[in-house]
Amino acid sequence: MNNHIENSHFSVKILILMISISMFLYQIILTRIASVLFSYHYVFLITSVAILGLSIGSAYSYYINKEGVLSKINDLIWILSSMYSAVFLFIFFGPISNSPLFYILIVIIPFFIIGYIFGLIYLKYPFESHKLYLADLVGAGIGAGIVFLLIDTVGILRTIIIICLLPVSFFVSGCLKLCTSYVVRSYSIILTVGLLVLLFLPNSILSGIELNYQGAYKSDISTFSKVKEGGLTPQIVYSKWNSFSRTDVISVDEVDERMFITIDGGAIAPMYKYDGNTENLSIFKRDTAYLPFSFGAKENVLLIGAGGGRDVLYALASESDNIIALDVNKSTIEAVQAYSSYNGGIYAMDKVKVVADDGRGYLENSTENYDVIFLSLVMTNSSQGVSYAMAEDYIYTVEAFESYLGHLTENGKVGFLVHDLSDLTKVIGMSMKALQNEGVSLEDTPDYITVVVKKEDMGNDQIHYTEPVIIVKKTPFSDSELSTLYKEVQLNDLDIFQMPRVFEQSPIESIRNKTVDINGYYAMYSKEMTLATDNKPYFYNYTSKIPKILIVLISIVVFVYFALFGRFFKSRENRRPLYYFSILGFAFMLIEITTIQKFSLFLGHPSLSIVVILSSLLVGCGIGSQIINKSINANSKSIKTNLAVIGIVLINILMLLVYELVLKNNLSMMTGMKIGITIFIVFFQGFLMGIPFSRGLLLLSYEGRQGIIPMMLGVNGIMSVLGSVIAIILSMNIGFNYTLIFGLLLYALLLPLNMNTK
């Protein structure tokens, strides 16, 4: 075969590098686009099943392995760019469907092509597998390092165009050597030129395309659709996509007093019309959410999840002088600032300091104490569906509550506005646990907690609680504070759920009487409700049952696994490598996901965490596989990975101990230092974890069994998907620490295999 790929190993590595970059970008962009169309659990299903396309494509290269088949790589490169383009065009301009299966069948195609390309390349260069693996992982690491930077700087549409350009740019750069077909060469040049033209379109045109993305208008979870179905006339007047979400501002012709800021089409943050006169804020004093600001000191206020600015209005109504408003989504802040003439410029006031940051991360790095810390519906699970329980967050954990109490002034208080009785119950229990950890006896904790709600009589003796607000003080409520609160409750026709020395009911009364502990308190509401901690940060998980969406995903993965690789169980010779690469893929994901979660809390902001952790881990894996395997030669009969596996176990145990004993207690250190520590630890963790996979592929090559390498790539990929699902299930039930330990036990299973594949 006479082409550039066959004659240049370097070109193949560059090709894999560029495809890996584009693939990682594609995967992240898919989650951002799909989040507008579907709730969290369906996004997870779509992306996970689509990634199975890599394994299916790799297995396909095994089944059609024939002499000269590598020549197809030339065509596959421009087909990949074409399919990237087609998928995104279809999603943006095609028909909108509310079926996840519909989108899975579309977005899986590029993954299949990539798996096919990689399988063919590994077949052609089996003795270079460790170098190919290096290029693959470094490419993924680069993708992880630049994806959010690209989205935030050039926008989501230009990032999509760059994804489409990456594979075909390699093709065109050497097209005269790569391909003799005039048609293919001409098409590739036309495609590249077309994409370059789109890349440099004016911002006004690209912004218009983003604004008119039909998913925001027609999705089942879309606030726009729901408002329109209610007979009103909504309009999306502002839209911006960033690495965190798509943020829209919706105005409704029939509603003049407020607009709605939506996150990914669903979660709503109201933005109120305000003329800047604090005397006109009396209407906000009627809300339960105003109560934390209605008594005691309130000069220094910290608002976590400020959103459209309603919480700022509460603080302004109470005449607070120093208000820090945090929101993790920078676009939400920018949306409020863009409509300053409507909202009174609340985010530009001298009293208000606006910060785009994660609330927990900001607080851990703050040395200030506050009179009021307020969290208002920070995680809007109601817009995301019941399986939002799968989403973890460190805002609502016992350790977070301890941090809130630790950053209060002597007589300060923290307030929580939550959704319903379940949230209210959980927050009360976690508040009592946090107070207990701060040295308050459990039976005295009710003296520190007041809960006020609005009641709705639903008939048939059914009472519905709305707008519950929980106020937790650093010191017990005084009689004067309770008197002030009681007057506010009576004045605004609110209802007391818990108020020390005024009204207490079971099961809080049982806590005071020492008849139950925290677990007993939860059991009186639900036998399956437990505390959310940094080790199990699933606040909205109210059951021990496995979410149905995960059961569906496990079923799909298992079916695909046996459909593609079942025949390998019949051969004793093939069973051992099948077990080996299955264990590798599964165990790797358990450790990777645990590492991401652990260091996400340490680093603070979620976007920064993904960039630092994934890029360090993936690049470390690639470099480790390359350096260690330089010593392998054709005379190698049995390549032992015992030392590498032992090293993986030891370094991960050390990482866990260092985190729990040192890093977890020093979350306030400087961000630059935290980044450096994370890179150092995670890089060497990845360095060792990259060794077993590439060594396994090399051993197959030296035994003359390189023909099954594509199948082992596929096995590893499928088990990686399964590993990510099981990691979620385990962490929800036993926590991340034990999930990591389980992953290490699986790695230990590689020791008896001893890398012998026969």
Q: Could you read off the pLDDT of 419-458 as tens digits, one per residue? A: 888 889 899 999 999 999 999 999 999 999 999 998 877 6
> Which of 267-271, 445-449, 640-644 is the least confident region?
640-644
324 bridge partner residues = 302, 353
pLDDT at 233: 92
The 10s digit of each residue's pLDDT in 541-569 is 777 778 788 898 899 999 999 998 888 88
Percent of the chain at pLDDT > 70 equals 90
pLDDT at residue 37 above 60? yes
* pLDDT interval class at 389 (50, 70, 90): very low
The percentage of the chain sitting over the pLDDT mark of 90, rounded to a whole number, equals 41
Q: Is 75 exposed, middle or buried (0-12, 13-18, 19+ CB in 10 A)?
A: middle
CB-CB contact of 713 with 61 (8 Å): no
- Residue 634: predicted pLDDT: 42
Taking the C-alpha atoms of residue 320 and residue 300, their distance in angstroms, rounded to an integer, is 7
For the beta sheet containing 495-498, the strands, ordered from the edge strand earlier in sequence to the opposite edge, are: 352-356, 322-327, 300-304, 370-376, 408-417, 462-473, 449-459, 495-498
**Distance (Å, rounded) from C-alpha 550 to C-alpha 571?**
31
If one compares 183 and 489, the residue with the highest pLDDT of the two is: 489
At residue 332 the predicted structure's pLDDT band, cuts being 50, 70 and 90, is very high
CA distance 201 to 195: 10
Is the pLDDT confidence value at 745 over 50?
Answer: yes
Report residue 84 as tokens.
Answer: 């990237």
pLDDT, average across residues 185-201? 84
Cβ-contact 343, 277 below 8 angstroms: no
Q: Which residue has the higher pLDDT, 218 or 460?
A: 218
Strands (E), 216-272: 234-241, 246-252, 255-263, 267-272
- Confidence grade of residue 8 (pLDDT, cut at 50, 70, 90): low
State how far the Cα of 645 lies from the Cα of 630, in Å rounded to an integer: 18
| The pLDDT of residue 391 | 53
Reading the block at residue 231, the tokens are: 């007979």
Task: Flag the least confident range among 152-166, 258-272, 559-573, 658-672.
Answer: 658-672
Model pLDDT, residue 345: 92
pLDDT band at 19 (very low <50, low <70, confident <90, very high): very high
**Residue 625 in this model has a pLDDT that exceeds 90:** no
Mean pLDDT of 569-593: 89
Q: Can you read off the two tokens belonging to residue 219? A: 């999705």
| 35: confidence class by pLDDT, cuts 50, 70, 90 | confident
CA–CA dist 540, 305 (Å, integer): 17
Q: Residue 45 burial by CB count (10 A; 0-12/13-18/19+): exposed, middle or buried?
A: buried
- Packing angle, helices 398-406 and 421-437, rounded to 10: 60
What was the pLDDT predicted at 56?
Answer: 93
pLDDT score for 441: 93
Tens digit of pLDDT for each residue in 77-92?
Answer: 888 988 999 999 888 8
Beta-bridge partners for 241: 246
Let me know if 222 is exposed, middle or buried by CB neighbors in 10 A (0-12, 13-18, 19+): buried
Contact between 756 and 637 (Cβ < 8 Å)? no
Structure confidence at residue 96 (pLDDT) = 78
**Exposed, middle or buried, 125 (CB in 10 Å: 0-12/13-18/19+)?**
buried
- Scan for tokens 């060497």, then name that residue: 684
